[in-house]
Chain A
Amino acid sequence: MSKKDKNEILPKNLNFSFRRTMAIASRTMNQFRRDRRTLGLLIVVPIAIMLIFGLAFSGEVNNVPIILDNQDVEYMSINFGLNLSEALQADNSVDITDGDYTEGIDLVERGRFYAAVLIPENFSENIIRMFMGDDISGGLFIYVDATKPQVRASILGAIHDALDEAMGETGINVVQILAHEGAEFTGIDVGIPAVIAFVLIFLLVIVGVITVTREKIQGTEDRLYATPLRSSERLLGYVIGLLFIALLMITLVLIFGVFIFGARVQGNVFLLIFAATLFGIAHVFMAVFLANFAQNELQAIQFAPLTAIPSMALGGMLVPIVSLPVWLQPLSYLVPLTYGINLFEGIMLKGWGFAELWVDFVVVAGMCILFFVLAVLTVRNRMRD
């Protein structure tokens, strides 16, 4: 080849190019613009999940049918039994039917009621004598179905609340002071932070892995390798394109959560958006990395349950981390959902800011870097296959 030819082929724009990155990003976004069904799914699914988890799994169980047998009689003109049963009647977490305790036990066994409660004949007397220093024990009997822990917890909760109320006149009232500026939370309030984190993980992993895997299936990947495109430009391009989808989802979840379901945001809204964005980026990077291990769409879709199920189990979505067996708890800190829930719960419910949440922010930012580096390395590695 002549010298002139040589000069002509000198490289141009070999450095990192924002233009090339944005070409990938806009093509990724275009894919969703054209695929209305997927776009619709990305909008509808978060709201559906929010409803299901927010309402059904929030731990609030109402109108549990129980049998109440109040045999208590007045003692020194005090009738705790009556006070107690009135308080229970007023509590909508249980639905009281008056009946006989022995029959009630039978009905619980047959699954017709969840509990039978007996307030014994000398309930008021025993309590009063106990307070006066007599060596005597007094209390209630509850025959309860333990097959559904949440139902059981709801019954016991109702009884404790009723006891607090009924004993009020004795002056041993239990005063509750709510943490986090006295905020009282509904099921949807408590559910939404976890749902935002979960929806971001679940949908971004699916959509991300499929977007990248499709490149392989369509054969466009071979073409991309023959262009000046860098691995880092390509991966950042996917991330920017997918982030657009993620932001759309986050906005919709927040709008629906806050304006339709009345979820509260005690902390800074901008910090919340920042946290959601960072969390979204981390998962897009993770998806791009995971996509390296999928050869086709069927394999790609398998990553969704693979990431979602351990997250749900260990990330504190269904069971609080402190309630997990001690040996299992360290694993919770390997699950990204843990940090997502910490961030969203912290900002939305506890009104925390960066000072309280910096560790979680650092972990999520670290995830972004880790998965980006892994993704770039695996793309390079595949060329050596």
Chain B
Amino acid sequence: MATQSEYVIETTDLVKIYKTGKVKAVDGLNLKIRKSEIYALIGANGSGKTTSLNMISGALFPTSGSIKVLGYDIPEKRRLISNHIGMAPQDYSIYHDLSLEENVRFFSQLYGMTKAEFSPRYDELLKILRLEEKRKVLVKNLSGGMKRRASIACALIHSPRIVFFDEATVGVDPVLRTFFWEYFRSLKDEGITLVITSHVMDEAERADRIGLMRAGKLIAEGTPMELKKEHNASTIEEIFIKLSEGEIIDE
């Protein structure tokens, strides 16, 4: 049964070794994320960010270690809490041959939402994400930025308490990126916890707390201010380069 904790996400010594490759994709990860926090998991490509998210959301079983989300053990109890988790994977991950509305409706049905629950929430999300004109448009005909917003609509339709955005702001223009961060802030204000991954370091400056990942490990963690102070650096990128000791990361 769930234990009382101030954290909504808690991982302990989390390890993932893929059967193929035998590489430790995640190597002893200890994450603690509080309610309505914006937590940015930052690291190079292949540092284990997506693998970590997939394990926390229950899509992938860990090799060892434990995960608690909203106080429940994952992956054992993943279906108990899946209604409270929203997932926006990288690469949009929506159906290109369906319209925007069909996509969002499809995911709402998987979350067991009724028509009466769907419509007001859908209208609200489309207004916020500025997609109102695109309801009937096939996803393949949307621009990259619109696809990204459509993906977010699918992840938020069921009003989850925790949302994972995997590389949510990659390939997004500066105006839209600013909009996204404003929106993330407003979600936080509603009490939603956000976990955002990115390989763009300065992205992280806008998060409440940052975890720097390298080779499946957390190499630094803290608020942007704390980290900069601790490592005597002016940007997060500088810290990352310092901690990598100039090594070219090719993981």
Contact = CB atoms under 8 A, between A and B. Distances in A.
Contacts, number: 110
B75 interface: yes
B60 A35 contact: no
Nearest to B72: A9
Nearest to B3: A1
Q: How large is the interface on B (under 10, 10 to 19, 20 to 34, 35 or more residues)?
A: 35 or more
Interface string A9-22: 10111100101101
A222 B93 contact: yes
Interface in B46-86: 54, 57-61, 70-71, 75, 79-86
Contacts of B82: 226-228
A17 B112 CA distance: 9
Nearest to B109: A23
B236 interface: no
Interface stretch (A26-34, A45-53, A356-364): A26-34
Nearest to A3: B4
B83 A228 contact: yes
B110 A227 contact: yes
Contacts of A11: 79-81, 83
Determine the main DSSP class of B at the interface with A.
Answer: loop
Contacts of B80: 9, 11, 14
Nearest to A220: B93
B109 A19 contact: yes
A14 B20 CA distance: 33
Interface in A181-224: 218-220, 222-224
B90 A23 contact: no
B188 to A, nearest CB: 17
B61 A384 contact: yes
B91 A383 contact: no
A34 B154 CA distance: 20
Contact of A225 (B59, B95, B102): B59
Contacts of A223: 87, 89, 93-94, 107, 154-155
Contacts of A222: 54, 59, 87, 89, 93
Given A1-B5, A383-B60, A384-B61, A227 B98 contact: no
B60 A20 contact: no
Nearest to B164: A226
Contacts of B97: 30-31, 34-35
B109 A226 contact: no
13 contacts: A9-B161, A11-B79, A19-B112, A20-B112, A23-B109, A218-B94, A218-B96, A225-B59, A227-B110, A228-B79, A228-B110, A230-B79, A384-B19
Interface of B: 2, 4-6, 8, 18-20, 35, 54, 57-61, 70-71, 75, 79-87, 89-98, 102, 106-107, 109-112, 138, 154-155, 161, 164
7 cross-chain pairs, A with B, having the tightest CB-CB distances, nearest first: A225-B59, A219-B93, A23-B109, A226-B87, A34-B97, A226-B57, A227-B110
